[in-house]
Amino acid sequence: MALTDEAIDKIKEMIISGRVRPGEKLPKEADLAAELGLSRNSLREAVKALSLVNVLDVRQGDGTYATSLTPSLLLEAVSFLADFHRDDTVLEFLEVRRILEPAATGMAALRMSAEDKAALAKVLDTVTVDSPVDDFVAMDLEFHKKIASGSGNTVLASLVDNMSLPTARARVWRGMTEPRALERTLGDHRAICAAIASGDADLARSWAAVHIAGIESWLRKALTG
């Protein structure tokens, strides 16, 4: 094992074991290197690597802290990588969405409050089938984000959110080129929203699966046509 990898593992173990808790400051570099049996150079490289994935927060002139370690913060690295996707990987993001979003939608049907369900319905009222495609896609992103958040699972919500953004351009493309795409999308959204409002988790899951599969099916044909 490379020395930097060993140093990363030892710092991770400190956090996992509770030796350093979320938000707490790590010991000074010299003391920490001695405690972990590491060279100061290996320790610095490990701290740099862990700060890049938001596990550690290096504050100049103050010291190094463990971050809050919340899922949304730690999964920002996934979002960063997703920004570099190529057009030929959009289908793979949609495949992941087809796995994750039905589960999140079913959970939302059971866990969203009445107020949150009402707010979800209001998102749909911000557009019509005659709205500009960009406005429609913005609504689409917000609609799915609210559902993911409504699942009550912060890890799942972060993953869904990160998987949704890379497919936004494909959704714009579909809205501009496929006849009645906006009408079909709005119809799917209303069916999903109604299932969530009624607390029918099975129906909500089914409509979410149908919705994502429809986008995926169109994109496969568009890319191969």
What is the per-residue pLDDT for 132?
87
Span(s) in the chain for CATH 1.10.10.10: 3-69
Q: How long a stretch of residues is the chain? A: 225
Phi, psi of 66 (to 5 degrees): -75, 140
Are 168 and 82 in contact by the 8 Å Cβ rule? The answer is no
- CATH code for the part of the protein at 3-69: 1.10.10.10
Q: What pTM did the predictor assign?
A: 0.64
Say whether 25 sits in a helix, a strand or coil: strand
Q: Boundaries of CATH 1.20.120.530 in the chain?
A: 74-224
Q: What is the SS3 assignment for 114?
A: helix
Residue 30: pLDDT over 70: yes
Q: Span 77-94, mean pLDDT?
A: 61
Identify the CA nearest to 14 among candidates 1, 38, 2, 3: 38
Q: Give the tens place of pLDDT for each residue, 147-196.
A: 999 999 998 998 888 777 767 767 766 776 777 888 989 999 999 999 99
**Residue reference for tokens 């010291």:** 63
Beta strands in the chain (DSSP E): 56-59, 63-66
What confidence tier does 77 reach under pLDDT thresholds 50, 70, 90?
Answer: low
- Regarding the domain delimited by 74-224, which CATH topology (the fold level of the hierarchy) does it fall under? Four Helix Bundle (Hemerythrin (Met), subunit A) (1.20.120)
